[in-house]
Amino acid sequence: MNTRDNAALGERNIAPATKSPHAPAAPGPATGVSRPHESARAQVAGAATYVDDIPEVRGTLHAAPILSTVAHGRLKGVDASAALAMPGVRGVVLPQDIPGDTVLATFVHDEPVFAQDTVQHIGQVIGLVVADTVMQARRAARKVQLKITPLPPVLTSRAAHAAKSYVLPPVIVRRGDPEQALRKARHRLAGQLEVGGQEHFYLEGQVAYALPLEQNQWWIYSSTQHPGEVQHWVAHALHLENNAVTVECRRMGGGFGGKETQAGHLAVWAALAANKFKRPVKLRLDRDDDFLITGKRHPFAYDYSVGFDDTGLITALKLDMLANCGFSADLSGPVADRAIFHTDNAYFLSDVVISSYRCKTNTQSHTAFRGFGGPQGVIVIEAILGDIARKLGLDPLDVRMRNLYGIEERNTTHYQMKVEDNILQPLLSKLEQSSHYRRRRQHISAWNAGHAVIKRGIAITPVKFGISFTATFFNQAGALVHVYTDGSVQVNHGGTEMGQGLNTKVAQIVADELGIAFERVRSTAADTSKVPNASATAASSGTDLNGRAAQYAARNVRDNLAAFAAGLDGCGAGAIQFANGQVISPKATRSFDDVVKAAYANRIQLWSDGFYRTPKIHYDKTTLTGRPFFYFAYGAACTEVAIDTLTGESRVLAVDILHDVGTSINPAIDIGQIEGGFIQGMGWLTTEQLVWNDKGMLSTHAPSTYKIPATGDVPAHFKVKLWPEANREDNVGGSKAVGEPPFMLAISVWEALRDAVASTRAPGQLVQMDAPATAENVLRSLR
C-alpha cells in the first residue's frame, strides 16, 4: 500500500524532515518588536507599484475633467467643439452618458455625478474629455466652453448659518442646565474662534483605472481607502449589481481620509468613460485640479460662553459649532458628530449644551481627514481652558489638571459614555516631570522678561480620543489566511495600505498566531472579490478590525493543524504548541512545514476566513448618546515655541510626547505614526492656510501657495515615549489604535504660540488668535 493510500486511511504519515529553503525563524514573537514596513525596500528601490505604475492595457485612453469656473450658477450649456477638434481627442462624457443613477450612491444621495442644471463650486466636475494621452485630454478639457449664469455664492459658515443654509439638520446635545449654571458662575467668558481646513496633500494624487471585462464585468484599480464603497458607487452609476465590479488597491501613496469617499468619484468617472468608449480609461488628476475638485478638512467657526470658578473648574458651557461642509453632505454628518463627541477632550463637563450646524457653502464638499472632526472638537475646549487660565492668572496646565475626568466620579461624558480606562492624570503628571515643564516655564518667563522681540511660550495639552466608527455597522471586518504546502502563508483582509503599516502589523499578528517567522507571511492587495463588504480603512481602526479578523482566520487554521498533530501523538489539541517555526506536542517536535505537508496529504483544511465585530458599542444617533467607542487612546505633548513679535514668524523649538498605544505591535511603526501625526497637526495649526477669494476660487491650490511642514520645521528636540500599559479592553495584542490620536497632540503647538503672545500682554488679558497661526495671524494677534 503506497503513501497516498495510507493517508486515505487516516494513518497520517509524516515524511522525513527536509531542509527548508526558507530562512530559519527568529526566536521569539513576531509582534511587540520593531520591524521594517513590509514594502519599505520596494518603495526605496522604486519597485512598489501604485495605480499609475500598473502597465496599461493596449488601447487605454485617458480622461481629464471639465471644471466649473463659477462658484454658483445656472449651467446653460457645454460647448466642446474646440476640444473635439484637438489632436487625439476621442470625445466627451456628460450626464447623458450615465446608464445608471446620475446622483452618486452616497448615504444622503445629494451629490450629482456631473453637474447638471446648477454648478455649486469652482472646480465642480461637469464632464470629461477623453483622449489618447493624458496631456491631450488635459489640454482639450481647458478648451471646453461653459455657459453659466452666475448666482450669489455662500462662501463662509457664518454666512450659511445666517441664511439657514445647511446640508443636514442641526444637532444639539445637552446635559444638565447650562443656562442656569452660567448665571450662577463665579466667572464668565464669551468668545469666538475660527479654525481653518486642511488639504490632504497625499503624495500620490487621486487616480483610478477602469478596465471593461467580458460579460459586462469590470475591474477597477483605485487609490482608495474604501474599495467596497468604490465598488458600490461604480455599479450604481453603471446600473449593475455589485458582483459585476471588482475593485483592487495594493497600496496608496497616502490617504489621510481624502481617499475614503473622494476616490469613488474618480473611479465612477473613469468607468463611465470606459463604458462609453468600450476601452480601458485612466483618470489621474494633476495637483491643481486635485486641490480644486476634492474636499478638505472641515473649517469650523465657534461661539462660546463658559462659566468657571476661582480654580478654573468649568461649571457651564454653551457652544455653537459651525462646520463648513461645502456644497454636499459627503461625510459631514459623522464628522460634525465626532466634533461634538470630542468637545470634552480630556475634561468633565457638568452642564453643557453643544449646538452643531452643518453649513452648506459653495465650496468643495469637505470630507474625512485624520481625526475626522475630533481635532475641531478638541481645539475649542483647549482654547477655552487657555483663556480661563490667563483670565485667572493661573498656569494653564493646572487648569487642565483641575478639569480632568475622574475615576470614581466625574467620569461620564456628555454623551453618556462612562470613561472606564482613564489614565489621564498619571500620564500628564509623568510628562510634566519628564519634560521638566515647571523649570522650563520659569526659564521662559525669565527669557521673555529680558527680550523685547523674540518671545517664547510653552504648553502641555492632552488627548482622549475615542476608537471605533461612530456608525456602528462599520465596526466589522473579514480576512482570509491561506497556508500553502511549503509552509508559506498569505493573508488578505479588507483593510487598505496607505503607508501606515497595516499590512505589516497584520502579517506580524498572523505569524504569531501560527508560531512562524514574520518573513513567511505575505499580505496581498485589498480586493472586493476576496473580502466583500469591507469597511473603510479609517477611524484609526484598521489594525483593530482587520488584525483581529486575520488573527481569527489564522487561529482556525492553527486549530486544524493542532487537531491533526494531536491525533498523531494521542494527546489533546490544547497540548499542541506553535512557536519558532515548530509544532510541539508532549511527545514530539516537528517543523511547521512538515506538519503542513502531512496535513495536506491527509486532506486537512489549510485555509480559513475570519470575521470580527467590535463588542460593547452602541449609541442612539438621534440623541448622540450611548457608547460609540470601544475604548479611548490617550496622550499628551509638551511643546516650546518662539515668535518674532516684529514679523509674526514662529518656530517650534522642542517637543516631548508621551503617548498611549497599549502594547505596541510594532513600536517603530507606532512611533512613526505619532511623529507624522504630530507634524501634520502642526501644519494644520501653523502654515497650512486655505484661502478662497470673494469669487469662491481656492487661491491656495498648489505647493507654491499652500505650505505643508518641511524637514526644517521639525525641531531638533523631538522625543516620543510610549506609555507602558496594555489596552484594558480585549483588543488584538493588547494594542491601541495610533493613526489619528497623535494628530491632536499638535494643539500644544497652537497653545504654546498663544502663550508666547500672552507674554506681551498685561496679566489677565486674553489672546484672540484664529488658526492656523500663520505669521499674519500671529502678528494680527499681537497688535
Kindly list the catalytic residues: 740
User: How far does Cα 149 stand from its chain's mean position?
Assistant: 38
The maximal CA–CA distance of the chain, rounded, in angstroms, is 98
Cross-strand bridge partners of residue 246: 219
The pair phi, psi for residue 383, each rounded to 5°, is -65, -40
User: How far does Cα 259 stand from its chain's mean position?
Assistant: 9
DSSP secondary structure string for all residues of 394-462? --HHHHHHHHB--SSSS-B-TTS-B--S--HHHHHHHHHHHTTHHHHHHHHHHHHHH-SSEEEEEEEEE
The span from the CA of 595 to the CA of 131, in Å, is: 56
Cell output for 197: 481646513
Are 563 and 10 in contact by the 8 Å Cβ rule? The answer is no
3-state secondary structure 495-535: CCCCCCCHHHHHHHHHHHHHCCCHHHEEECCEECCCCCCCC
Cell output for 572: 489533546
Kind of pairing between the strands at 489-493 and 281-284:
unpaired
Q: How many CB atoms lie within 10 A of CB 162?
A: 11
Q: How many CA atoms lie within 13 A of 190 on its CB side?
A: 6
The span from the CA of 414 to the CA of 330, in Å, is: 26
The span from the CA of 353 to the CA of 359, in Å, is: 19
Measured over the CA atoms of residue 596, residue 601, residue 602 and residue 607, the dihedral's sign is positive
Cross-strand bridge partners of residue 65: 128
Helix extents (H) in 78-145: 81-84, 134-141
Q: CA-CA distances (angstroms) from residue 168 to 109, 324, 338?
A: 12, 12, 15
User: How far does Cα 459 stand from its chain's mean position?
Assistant: 26
110-116 long-range CB contacts below 8 Å, 24 or more apart? 110/167, 110/328, 110/329, 111/327, 111/328, 111/329, 111/330, 111/365, 113/237, 113/268, 113/269, 113/272, 115/68, 115/75, 116/75
DSSP 547: I
User: How far does Cα 344 stand from its chain's mean position?
Assistant: 21
Cross-strand bridge partners of residue 302: 193, 321
Q: How many CB atoms lie within 10 A of CB 396?
A: 25
Q: Could you tell me the end-to-end alpha-carbon distance of the chain, in angstroms, rounded to an integer? A: 96
Cell output for 539: 477611524
* Residue (of 263, 262, 225, 222) closest to 246 by Cα position: 222
Are 339 and 428 in contact by the 8 Å Cβ rule? The answer is no
Q: How many CB atoms lie within 10 A of CB 387?
A: 23
Segment (H or E) for 478 = strand 476-483
Rounded to the nearest 10 degrees, the angle between the axes of helix 437-450 and helix 424-434 is 50
Q: How many CB atoms lie within 10 A of CB 213?
A: 11
Are 445 and 456 in contact by the 8 Å Cβ rule? The answer is no
Place of cell 482587520: 546
Beta strands per DSSP E along 585-630: 589-591, 607-613, 618-620, 625-627
